[in-house]
A and B are shown apart, each in its own frame.
Chain A
Amino acid sequence: MAASPYLLLLLLVLHWPAAAPGTASSPPPSEPPHSPPPQKVQVWPKPTSISWQSSVYAPLSPSFSIRAVPSHPTLRDAIAFYTHLIRTERHAPLVPPGNYTVSRVPIRLLALSVSDPEVPLGPGVDESYTLSVLPDSGSADISAATSWGAIRGLETFSQLAWAGGGPDSGGQSIVPSGIEISDRPHFTHRGILLDTARNFYPVRDILHTIRAMAFNKLNVFHWHITDAQSFPIVLPTVPNLANFGSYSPSMRYTENDVRRIVRFAASFGIRVIPEIDMPGHTGSWAGAYPDIVTCANKFWAPRAKPALAAEPGTGQLNPLNPKTYRVAQDVMRDLVALFPDPYIHGGADEVNTACWEDDPVVRRFLAEGGTHDHLLEVFINATRPFVTQELNRTVVYWEDVLLGPKVMVGPTILPKETTILQTWNNGPENTKRVVAAGYRAIVSSASYYYLDCGHGGWVGNDSRYDKQEKEREGTPLFNDPGGTGGSWCAPFKTWQRVYDYDILHGLNDDEAQLVLGGEVALWSEQSDETVLDGRLWPRAAAAAETLWSGNKGSTGKKRYANATERLNDWRHRMVGRGIRAEPIQPLWCPLHPGMCDLSQ
């Protein structure tokens, strides 16, 4: 008993050469005595339904190609990308499957058939597909209703391939022969929010992230473009916002950059939803338009007074200045011209009362009986109808606009047909409040989906870290275990935490219908391109599976234990694809299945 796992270790070590990337692999020895139960098919996110009875793999022909019938421009880039990836990738699983044979008939062709390739990319688009590799036919098929489903199928096919055939496959990757997959997502909205305003991300890192999203079948890139700290997007009508609000000339997204990002994302079936946060989080607008921003450039947390912003970087659009709306409308008109998606994100989170009160006109308005809620209402009424009616977009706002806690508006000025609310506070409770009020919801609950949490505070001159003694029991903890370490949304959200979240928790069937999906969020106070990959991945992959095929096994039990081993392998594959995802366990763990669990 004591010795058997070590026998296993020995065997795995013997297998190792096959696992070195780029090396030609040899077939594993037949019938290893203590081979682990083979993870026969490794696709992340796990498909809804896989059927594969045999243990025969087919090699891919060196001339492997992908053809769409009928061919369609929406598929061209994806076909080129996946042809190259599938031909060149030589994935060596951490624990290679054992006991298989390699068929003699190589697969030359992957045929895509799309019933309606004209369906545009957009909310709720059909992403289902079926995939089959017919035994000894030399070909594989993907059928999908739309191009976007076909692209999901291409990703799945790429993950079926691995370098295990040895000489039998001529060094080519092999795929399961006779496999049938039928797959579709649970949620139509599966996204990542990236904040490019606190810190700037070069275009290549955004493209790189979008590519990694495609690997994980995520379909929404929610681009939180601007914030109080910087305004990096160059808008043709109001170029001074970026000229005076970006960090530097080299830290701006030009029209060409944006078009390139949108086009690149679309080629992978990923929508780009732009967010220009307002009326809060707009300190960066004051560089170009100081007159429309209240409390700009003030110290954020004046002594003995209410804070002017949620964090350093003050400034809020002034709802009582007509010029505010001229600029805001220019911004939104330009934005719509750059981003084809039917959704536009209007922000509206964390409106700060003290910041508005810093302005004399606002103070007069309040003195004459006006309220903060009324101010926000003025702002929403002057911006929202323009977006929904003239620009024909659905507006997404953060939950704050309806739920407050401090400043909010009533549902009458937020028509449900053209408003979606994104929740971030109070976990399932706020999702429930949003849908109970009749709104569609996107779930980004901070206590599960905020990827920046648990990294301590970043605000300077913070004496709380300068505590040398162990904190006494009974006092609020800060530096000791259980303390936040300065992060308002601590602790760090591990992949298991992300994976386990049921975004429909506590909702009835009707309410659940209104939840479009979820987005993990990376706020960038403490990240930039140097650490981006490790912050996002593989935790965003955990959300990707939960939102695609759920976090429960066929028995209805949460499948996080089983997902651990699969995610180890998927992370390993992502690293091979150039994504610097962080490891979730020592390598010892996937090599000793189950031994790193909390309970046996």
Chain B
Amino acid sequence: MAAKNGGSLALFLVLCFLLTSPPLARGDTPFPINVWPKPTSMSWAEPHMAVRVSSSFCVIAPSANTHLLAAAHRYSALLRSERYRPLVPPAANLTAAAAGGKAAELRRLTLAVSDLHAPLQHGVDESYSLEIPPTGGEATLTAATAWGAMRGLETFSQLTWWGHAAGYRRAALQLVVAAGVRVYDRPLYPHRGLMLDTGRTYIPVDDILRTIDAMAANKMNVFHWHITDSQSFPLELPSEPALADKGSYGEGMRYTVEDVKLIVDFAMSRGVRVVPEIDSPGHTASWAAAYPEIVSCAGKFWLPDASDWPNRLAAEPGAGQLNPLEPKTYEVLSNVINDVTSLFPDGFYHGGADEITPGCWKSDPSIQAYLANGGTLSQLLEKFVGAAHPLIVSKNRTAVYWEDLLLDQAVNVTPSTIPRETTILQTWNNGANNTKLIVQAGYRAIVSSASFYYLDCGHGDFVGNNSVYDDQRSDYDTSGGSWCGPYKTWQRVYDYDIAGGLTEEEARLVIGGELAMWTEQVDAAVLDGRVWPRASAMAEALWSGNRDAAGRKRYAEATDRLTDWRHRMVGRGVRAEPIQPLWCRSRPGMCNLVR
């Protein structure tokens, strides 16, 4: 490996910046070093020291990987522009002078990467180590891959802050960095994701980019893009342009091929994979605008009889399911899979397959005939997946599906339809129980249990003309209309043990987790506050765990750190919600439930 890349290591690009900084000085209150997610292992020599970042500080990066180069540029710019001032002023002593009387400062950060060409894919090595010498000079960041180096760059950026030059005549702020620091870091789980639904609500490209940028800052590495749903089909596909033409919310609310390229490339230069999901055969009403003949029950009112939930046509407004008996279905689906896999380079393709609603298929005359002849809904689904799965696999992709495909009581497929080698199941119901069922069946699992990881929960219901709210008694049903209430606080997210209750062998099949942002009640206006900092909570739990060295859950200790990190994210332009009154941060422990 080293030999293969030896040549490229020789070529470095030097990214410097000029800072007009006032003279250095010292600060003195205790400063807990805060890197989020907390690294696996980090030491900071006592007494805690910090050095000024030189006004001509440079990041020296190998130039053979353009994504890494872009990352080095970006962090160089971030250091220059970020004006992060910790809520509680830092306690590190500034190293005033190096030997020889010259002010100590950090002059460069040098990156060493052993395999510059390791592609960004599931399971790629993201480990890194970082060393910042006590007297400044040159810091080194070593990583096996460019993606690990990006994680290290993020860590480095979080070790810097603007410190006040108190005690010096010309008191002023300057960029300083913790010195005498060694970090060795690697993630617990290789799959740390956020799912964003752009089918219920269109999310503009800029907001997606900002979200991915924030993910990278939290060392998350999978953007699961739930692109389409019953409500809209916003993705322009070259072979099937009619789907977006007719199924999107409108011009200006579609993702073009260029948009997708931009998003995928933007994500890659942050070490974030983009896993596309085209949900099918359910959640496809939007396909009917272009192809009414392939969608069952499209255009019908979703709940013909409010007192008869089992015979609903969809889980929520927007009814329509692809008809597995219609040959045209597979023609369209094949084009979709072809196009999507050529737009998205990632090795995973998410096929959806959640919430098959029996009432929808049962209302279709052609399906009624099939059922009358002894066919079952499960056979129907198997017919669909039996055709879709090989298409996905033929593109050299691993298929991800929602758990329903295997675990739904009413409509499911036999495991032989979805071979374990090419299938991953994403769980969302019944917490740890369903994770267990999946891994016991031998499948790899991605955990998105709604009772921990669904960010939309607890916000009431969006369905209109609902008399349940018109109840003048003050005390009423506390679910407030949200099927998965209550709201998942950051502590709830943080505390989830996604491999809880599994044997060691079973646990190995859990590749990670994803928070899910379904967007019935979310658009760009409120996106940041819904996602952050709760996604940060998962990011740490999946990166370095939710326990301290003694094995105790560390949610209490994480509170102040998360407040600090949220503060830093807001400064970086992410409108994350506050988790406590500011009062709490400067009074450690005083806002706890138990002292």
Contact = CB atoms under 8 A, between A and B. Distances in A.
Interface of A: 1-6, 9-10, 12-13, 16-17, 19-20, 198-200, 228-230, 247, 251, 299-303, 312-313, 425-429, 445-448, 454-463, 465-466, 468-470, 477, 479-487, 490-494, 496-497, 499-502, 505-506, 524-528, 530-531, 533-534, 558, 560-561, 564-565, 575, 580-589, 591-592, 594-600
Contacts of A199: 578, 581-582
Please classify the interface of chain B as helix (H, G, I), strand (E, B), loop, or mixed, using the class held by over half of its residues: loop
B472 interface: yes
Contacts of B431: 468-470
Contacts of A524: 581
Contact of A597 (B249, B289, B460, B464): B464
Interface stretch (B48-56, B71-79, B135-143, B302-310): B302-310
A492 B482 contact: yes
8 contacts: A457-B593, A458-B581, A465-B555, A491-B458, A494-B459, A564-B464, A594-B301, A596-B463
A419 B478 CA distance: 34
Given A461-B593, A485-B487, A596-B464, A6 B292 contact: yes
B555 A466 contact: yes
Given A456-B458, A461-B594, A588-B231, 20 more contacts: A2-B297, A9-B246, A9-B289, A16-B253, A200-B582, A229-B581, A299-B589, A455-B489, A457-B593, A460-B559, A482-B477, A482-B478, A483-B478, A490-B486, A492-B487, A493-B460, A580-B526, A584-B521, A595-B317, A597-B466
Nearest to A524: B581
Q: List the 6 closest pairs (A to B, CB-CB), nearest first.
A: A491-B480, A485-B486, A427-B474, A16-B250, A494-B460, A456-B489
Nearest to A525: B581
Contacts of A479: 451, 486, 492
A455 B487 contact: yes
A477 B289 CA distance: 43
A592 B250 CA distance: 14
Contacts of A594: 301
Interface string B302-333: 11101000000000011000000000000000
Interface residues of B, number: 102
Please classify the interface of chain A as helix (H, G, I), strand (E, B), loop, or mixed, using the class held by over half of its residues: loop
Which of B246, B463, B491 counts the most A-chain CB atoms under 10 A from its CB?
B491
B430 interface: yes
Contact of A447 (B301, B476, B526): B476
B30 interface: no
A229 B465 contact: no
Contact of A491 (B303, B478, B578): B478
A587 B248 CA distance: 11
Contacts of A465: 489, 491-492, 494-495, 555
A560 B202 CA distance: 26
B355 interface: no
Nearest to B525: A580
Nearest to A478: B486
B480 A497 contact: yes
A586 B462 contact: yes
Given A199-B581, A491-B482, A585-B520, A598 B525 contact: no
A594 B463 CA distance: 10
A466 B575 CA distance: 27
Nearest to A456: B489
A247 B526 contact: no
A56 B513 CA distance: 57
B342 interface: no
Contacts of B478: 477, 482-484, 490-491
B519 interface: yes
B396 to A, nearest CB: 34
A584 B482 CA distance: 13
